[in-house]
Chain A
């Protein structure tokens, strides 16, 4: 089944403890992206990747890192999490960049709580 898989689905942790949210897609998509969703603010893009070893900042990249060493994986790294990063996170992928007429497929989300 074609899908975008995020892990963990839920995580409660403490300030400053490094964490990684994994994202994997099995559709051989080139484009991958991370979003966060907060009440009243909709989805905001954190980082995106056009292809392996190519990443760029979205609208809210501060406090996050990403890597794209393989096409299928796009982990989101919080080196020193803070409470303002408590949010619902989504990973998405599409065959190519959005402007090339390809919809994005989203994962089921990861709910992070930073205490």
Chain B
């Protein structure tokens, strides 16, 4: 499976936009970009996914570059409750999913 690269940690002030990058330079044409987050040791929570168009839902926005080699998850107004580990993963023809170590987002006052 293609792999993703994310920064290990990021900080964001409460109320500001949190922009989390993900590199996936070897992505295949049929692979989706998914984002999940994990708060403490709870089960990962689905956030958003996309194939090649930008996506938005009530939680976040996802921008995928035109060449699909990278993407950015945006939480428009981060709150303390958004402090979590954020995972960017790819899904494709394989039925296995590979989670990396993600980005630990710390939202501060």
Contact = CB atoms under 8 A, between A and B. Distances in A.
B97 interface: yes
A48 B49 contact: no
Contact of A44 (B42, B91, B99, B102): B99
B30 interface: yes
Nearest to B51: A101
A108 B42 CA distance: 6
Contacts, number: 65
Nearest to A40: B101
Given A42-B102, A90-B43, A109-B42, A104 B97 contact: yes
Contacts of B51: 101
A48 B87 CA distance: 20
Given A90-B44, A108-B43, A109-B43, A99 B98 contact: no
Chain A interface mostly = strand
Interface residues of B, number: 26
Nearest to A108: B43
A56 B95 CA distance: 9
A70 interface: no
A41 B87 CA distance: 12
A101 B32 contact: yes
* Residue among B31, B32, B94, B96 with the highest chain A CB neighbour number at 10 A: B96
A43 interface: yes
B21 interface: no
B95 A48 contact: yes
A41 B102 CA distance: 10
Contacts of A56: 95
A15 B12 CA distance: 44
6 contacts: A41-B101, A42-B99, A90-B44, A97-B95, A99-B30, A99-B95
